[in-house]
């Protein structure tokens, strides 16, 4: 009976792993096709049957795309916005989350619920008033507009607060008795203990800012200010048949995101799991 139970368990686990592998392969197919197409001539991109590994890879596509559009400038703009927004969100979210989780003040829970409730409001519902506000401040067509709008995140505060809730209050009380200020407790105790949550928030924020399309499209019209996503869209509209170059630019655009995720992925699952320890 025990042997039969082990056999059924083995078959079940094998089936689960097989389904997971098939799912992963299906998810990777578009990226593999994009990489393969980036090494082909335009006439070979849509050939049937598809040739996954080109006989003569055209690496020249990766050199040509830098001269067709100011790709370097687009990447610089995107990296600049992504890094600044990510750093600001890590600071503002962790700082606010500490106040909401470890400090006691009147109306704390109501204020937190009101702030978190903004997550339920789609950005499309208030993007027009937001744009009018930025234009009235003279920030239209500047990177500062996007930085100010994305420097604060209700989701980031929620994620960090959930993690902070799992840190014993006794640590903060002991630090207060030792004469450490609230700023010191946040900097010396909370931040070092919250590396998984900070890494998770960093990944979410960096990827979201790097891939943002609608925000830069609304606020940035000058070519020298555009991000990689808007630059790719501009290139596609001008050279709609240059599929090899388009795919090469797309591959280049995902490399920074891939690097960030692979660098911090060991903290990612831990951060997501530990952020739900205590509500």
Q: Alpha carbon of 74 to those of 61, 132, 204, 210: distances in Å?
A: 18, 25, 21, 11
More confident residue, 74 or 272: 74
Structure tokens at 212: 């943002």
| 60-274 homologous superfamily | MetI-like (1.10.3720.10)
User: How confident is the model over 88-114, as pLDDT tens digits?
Assistant: 999 999 999 999 988 888 888 899 998
Give the pLDDT mean for 11-20.
86
Q: Alpha carbon of 37 to those of 29, 50, 68: distances in Å?
A: 12, 10, 18
Structure tokens at 63: 């050199």
Give the pLDDT mean for 56-76.
87
Nearest of 64, 31, 67, 37 to residue 52 by alpha carbon: 37
Task: Report the alpha-carbon distance of residue 140 to residue 218 in Å, rounded.
Answer: 9
User: How confident is the model over 228-246, as pLDDT tens digits?
Assistant: 988 888 877 766 667 888 8
Q: Which residues, 6+ apart, have CB-to-CB distance to 176 below 8 Å?
A: 185
Give the pLDDT mean for 158-165.
88
Nearest of 255, 241, 277, 246 to residue 78 by alpha carbon: 255
Q: Alpha carbon of 145 to those of 72, 238, 258, 270: distances in Å?
A: 22, 27, 27, 33
Give the pLDDT mean for 163-180.
86
Q: Alpha helices, DSSP H only, in the chain?
A: 2-37, 60-68, 71-102, 108-116, 127-136, 143-150, 154-164, 169-177, 182-185, 191-193, 195-210, 214-219, 228-238, 243-274
Give the pLDDT mean for 137-165.
90
Task: Report the alpha-carbon distance of residue 191 to residue 218 in Å, rounded.
Answer: 35
Q: Which residues, 6+ apart, have CB-to-CB distance to 74 below 8 Å?
A: 226, 227, 228, 230, 231, 232
Number of other residues whose CB lies within 10 A of the CB of residue 180: 16
Residue 108: what pLDDT?
86
Residue 147: what pLDDT?
93
Banded model confidence at residue 144, pLDDT cuts 50, 70, 90: very high
Domain boundaries, the chain: 2-37, 60-274
Give the pLDDT mean for 197-221.
90
Banded model confidence at residue 277, pLDDT cuts 50, 70, 90: very low
How much of the chain exceeds pLDDT 70, in percent? 92
Residue 276: what pLDDT?
47
Residue 278: what pLDDT?
42
User: How confident is the model over 257-267, as pLDDT tens digits?
Assistant: 888 888 877 76
Residue 4: what pLDDT?
67
Give the pLDDT mean for 53-58.
81
Residue 3: what pLDDT?
59
More confident residue, 159 or 243: 159
Q: Alpha carbon of 169 to those of 101, 102, 109: distances in Å?
A: 9, 7, 17
Nearest of 215, 250, 218 to residue 235 by alpha carbon: 250
Q: Alpha carbon of 179 to those of 49, 173, 183, 189: distances in Å?
A: 72, 10, 11, 14
pTM equals 0.83
Instruction: Please determine, for residue 140, whether its predicted confidence score (pLDDT) is greater than 50.
Output: yes
End-to-end CA distance of the chain: 43
């Amino acid at each position: 009976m025990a042997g039969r139970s082990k056999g059924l368990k083995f078959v079940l686990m094998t089936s689960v792993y097989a389904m997971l592998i098939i799912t992963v392969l299906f998810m990777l197919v578009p990226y593999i096709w994009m990489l393969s197409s980036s090494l082909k001539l335009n006439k070979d991109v849509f050939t049937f049957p598809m040739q996954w590994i080109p006989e003569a890879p055209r690496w020249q596509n990766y050199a040509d795309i830098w001269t067709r559009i100011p790709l370097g400038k687009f990447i610089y703009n995107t990296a600049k916005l992504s890094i600044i927004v990510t750093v600001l969100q890590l600071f503002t979210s962790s700082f606010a989350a500490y106040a909401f989780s470890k400090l006691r003040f009147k109306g704390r829970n109501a204020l937190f619920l009101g702030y978190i409730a903004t997550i339920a409001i789609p950005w499309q519902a208030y993007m027009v008033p937001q744009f009018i506000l930025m234009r009235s401040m003279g920030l239209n067509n500047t990177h500062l507009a996007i930085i100010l709008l994305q420097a604060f995140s209700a989701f980031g505060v929620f994620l960090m607060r959930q993690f902070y809730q799992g840190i014993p209050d006794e640590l903060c009380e002991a630090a207060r008795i030792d004469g450490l200020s609230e700023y010191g407790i946040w900097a010396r105790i909370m931040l070092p203990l919250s590396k998984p949550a900070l890494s998770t928030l960093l990944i979410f924020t960096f990827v979201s800012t790097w891939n943002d399309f609608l925000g830069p499209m609304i606020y940035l019209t000058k070519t020298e200010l555009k991000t990689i996503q808007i630059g790719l869209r501009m290139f596609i509209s001008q050279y709609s048949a240059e599929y090899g170059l388009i795919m090469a630019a797309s591959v280049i655009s995902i490399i920074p995101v891939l690097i960030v995720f692979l660098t911090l992925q060991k903290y990612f699952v831990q951060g997501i799991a530990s952020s739900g320890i205590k509500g």
